[in-house]
Structure 1
Amino acid sequence: MAPSPQRLDPDRRRRRLELLAALADAKSAREWTQPQRLRGARLRELIANRRRHVVS
């Protein structure tokens, strides 16, 4: 059985907390950029559709 977080040595606990903080930062950054990427893709799709209709 794994030791509880209180029983981890201080260095290991600090590294674990740093890793969890880095993962949380990466997740929040990914969640922020994904809607922008989707918005850009949607905009490109609309522009391409409009060009197709104008040329036709």
Structure 2
Amino acid sequence: MPDRKRTDGAEDVPTGARGIDDAAARRRRRVQFLRELHEAKELRDRVQPRRARAARMRQAMRMRTFRW
């Protein structure tokens, strides 16, 4: 079966180069995900200010009682 072409989208790229490309693509997806997550949190805070304030107060209390 050497005549058949690959249909999985992978080309004849060395494994090391493909790993670098995969890592770069993964980082791009992660950055985009974190950016969208941050935007969603900001939107939620704007829409529900009382809940956001309570969450900030709880976080502040946790930080005050945290022991290093």
Whether TM-score is above 0.5 comes out as yes
Q: Structure 1 unaligned runs (5+)?
A: 1-12
Q: How does 1:23-34 map to 2 (within 5 A)?
A: 23-34=23-34
Detail structure 1 runs of 4+ shifted over 3 Å in the superposition.
none
Paired with 1:28 and 1:39, the residues of 2 have a C-alpha distance of 17
How high is the TM-score relative to the length of structure 2? 0.50
- Amino acid in structure 2 at the alignment position of 1:21: D
Q: Which residue matches 2:36?
A: 36
Q: How many residues align?
A: 38
How high is the TM-score relative to the length of structure 1? 0.59
Q: How does 1:1-56 map to 2 (within 5 A)?
A: 14-49=14-49, 52=50
Sequence identity, in percent?
13
Q: CA RMSD in A?
A: 1.6
Q: Structure 2 unaligned runs (5+)?
A: 1-12, 51-68
Higher helix fraction (1 or 2): 1
Higher relative contact order (CA 8 A, sep 6+): 1
